[in-house]
Chains A and B, each alone.
Chain A
Amino acid sequence: MSDLLTLEDADLQDYFNNEGWTDGLPVIAPTPVRVTAMLAGAELDGDELLGSVSTHGVAMSAQHAAVAAVMAGCRPDYFPVVVAALGAALDPAFNLAVACTSTGGASILVIVSGPLADEIGMNARHNALASGNRANATIGRSVRLAATNLLRTKVDGIDGTSLGHPGKYTFCVAEREPTTWTTLRGDLGYGPEDTTVTVLGAAAPLQIANHLNGTAEGVAASLAAAMRVPSQFTTGKGGAQYVVVLGPEHEAALAGAGWSRRHVQSWLRAHSEVAARELADAGIGLEVGSHHSMEPDERGMLVTVESDEDVIVLTAGGAGAGWSAVVPNWAPKKHSSSVTRRVRLRGEGLPPCGPDGCVIDWDAMERHS
């Protein structure tokens, strides 16, 4: 549980920044009144647990999450989304400790699919991946602050990020309801009334331009080309996961040609294979005898994406010219995998720990604390 300290109001920004508790931007003071209001936004008690990072011997309470959400500038009605995102990020499969300390500089990409996104005012249209919307901006920032402060990455100097990217401040996108396709959450097995949050340890997005080719094959080919960039860390290692954010024009080109979302996933997975020669031409060596499998097949090809489900397709963005974006995971999924959680609405409460809830290995916590 967080403890209270008393500060001169005017000293707050400098104090928090100097302690290593911020992302460098100003924060809202996490006063007891604000934190209580944030917890009420999800009807949670402060001591309820969202999950743990057993290798660091720490568990995250709802109050810790609420303090971060206040600091980030969240409104209380956003908090259920933050809680779901943090629950996903604390799943051992996401491997939060490595995602927050790797030299590769991962961000925590938060993808929201469902009616709650619209209800709380998230933006899924123009600037869908960019600035300008309070809900998008502060939900992503809350997740980041809660994670890094739980692990004390800045306080203890254990974030080894070499460069990183701007998504480490905040990175949150809402799905624009597709015109003809099923939704992302629908494909993941959730109902239309549900809202889901998917998190991915993400490298920087690659913006895809294709303004001159309106065919499904042409659009898909331009997307796939960005999924086998030789100097992307995951290329050819078999464990890539990609979030493919389709602009409305590109979605229309694909859907209009009769391509289902499943077909898009399968096509992009197949066309993300890369020739070993292309990596060599780009100066990239093949790992031999390492934890990454980079042995070319008889055609001289390497697998980049292992399964169709590793291509997460959603629609977002404003109408206009043909833009999309491809967001790679920063490292193969054996190190950190995307995780999805359903948002618990106010009054619903947190589920008991289990496959769809928090995961706490108390024995491992004991070993590492």
Chain B
Amino acid sequence: MTTIDVYRPVPTAGEAPPQLVLAERRSLAGARLVIINNGKPRTGELLGAIAAELTTRYSLGSVQLFSKPSASAPITAEQALALATTADVALTGLGDCAGCSACSLQDALIMERNGRPATVVISEPFQSLIASFSSKLGALGYPVTVVPHPVSSRSSDELARVAAQVAATVAGHLSDVRAGVPSAR
């Protein structure tokens, strides 16, 4: 048998990126939530409905909307810094395609790095993709919120039901409450 030396065609695996330290979770009562909407169809409606559920169940202080001009790029460092001064927690999405899921995941991680608990809402088919990308970005096992696919063709009533179903999960990801059990601030 003959051996040959060849170059590995992918970037040399360096040290694993340091695991992201998640922002400290507190109570949602009185918290200021920012929705980072990537503009995918029906995203504003779904994330708005989730925020409404959180307000009702956990007494959010306020809800702010930030609309990205494109789903294909994460928020900038400057935008994240500005959002972190006006919000305590962040809800990003919608990840119902591959490129946009990755960018909305990055939105959430950028907010975490700015000290703001976050979660990204994705639809079912993109769970493994986001799990891989989370690991790649040093956020192995990052908690995401999964909703049924598709989102864009559902009725408003259906989206409201989805929001009600995942609100406790979102609260669990964003705060120190156990899923479904509100805590005092």
Q: What is the interface of chain A, defined by CB distance below 8 A to chain B?
A: 1-10, 12, 16, 19, 21, 29-32, 35, 55-58, 63-64, 67-68, 71, 95, 97-98, 101-104, 145, 149-150, 152, 155-161, 287-292, 331, 334-336, 363-364, 367-369
Contact = CB atoms under 8 A, between A and B. Distances in A.
Given A158-B132, A291-B38, A369-B17, A35 B72 contact: no
A4 B4 contact: no
A56 B132 CA distance: 13
B98 A158 contact: yes
A104 B11 CA distance: 25
Interface in B83-122: 97-99, 101-103, 106, 110, 113
Given A158-B132, A290-B41, A367-B77, A4 B98 contact: no
A156 B102 contact: no
A367 B136 CA distance: 13
A32 B137 CA distance: 31
Given A3-B8, A3-B12, A30-B9, A9 B3 contact: yes
A279 B69 CA distance: 24
Given A156-B133, A158-B129, A291 B11 contact: no
Contact of B10 (A10, A31, A149, A289): A149
Nearest to B98: A160
Contacts, number: 154
Contacts of B41: 287-290
Given A9-B4, A12-B6, A291-B38, A150 B11 contact: yes
Contacts of A291: 38-40, 67-71
Contacts of B135: 156
Contact of B97 (A10, A102, A334): A102
Given A152-B11, A368-B137, A30 B102 contact: no
A56 B9 CA distance: 17
Contacts of A30: 6-7, 9
A98 B38 CA distance: 14
B9 A7 contact: no
B36 to A, nearest CB: 13
Nearest to A1: B12
A36 B156 CA distance: 60
A159 B11 contact: no
Contacts of A3: 7-8, 12
Contacts of B17: 57, 369
Contacts of A292: 39
- Considering residues B12, B70, B73, which has the most beta carbons from chain A within 10 angstroms of its beta carbon? B70
- Considering residues B3, B9, B67, B99, which has the most beta carbons from chain A within 10 angstroms of its beta carbon? B9
- Considering residues A35, A97, A161, which has the most beta carbons from chain B within 10 angstroms of its beta carbon? A97
Interface in B25-81: 38-41, 43-44, 67-74, 77
B7 A149 contact: no
Nearest to B131: A157
A35 B69 contact: no
B3 A8 contact: yes
A100 to B, nearest CB: 9
Contacts of A9: 1-4
Nearest to B101: A160
Contacts of A7: 3-4, 6
A104 B70 CA distance: 16
B128 interface: yes
B8 A157 contact: no
Nearest to B39: A291
Given A9-B1, A101-B98, A156 B39 contact: no
A94 B82 CA distance: 27
A113 B17 CA distance: 42
10 contacts: A2-B11, A3-B12, A4-B7, A7-B4, A64-B9, A97-B102, A149-B9, A289-B41, A290-B39, A334-B69
A67 B68 CA distance: 37
A185 B25 CA distance: 56
Contacts of A4: 5-8
A158 B133 contact: yes
Contacts of B70: 291, 334-335
Interface string B119-145: 000000010110011011100000000
Contact of B99 (A64, A101, A149, A157): A101
B9 A145 contact: yes
Contact of A63 (B1, B7, B10, B136): B7
Contacts of A150: 10-11
Contacts of B3: 6-9
A335 B70 CA distance: 7
Contacts of B1: 8-10
A156 B137 CA distance: 12
A31 B137 CA distance: 31
A335 to B, nearest CB: 4
Contacts of B99: 97-98, 101-103, 160, 335
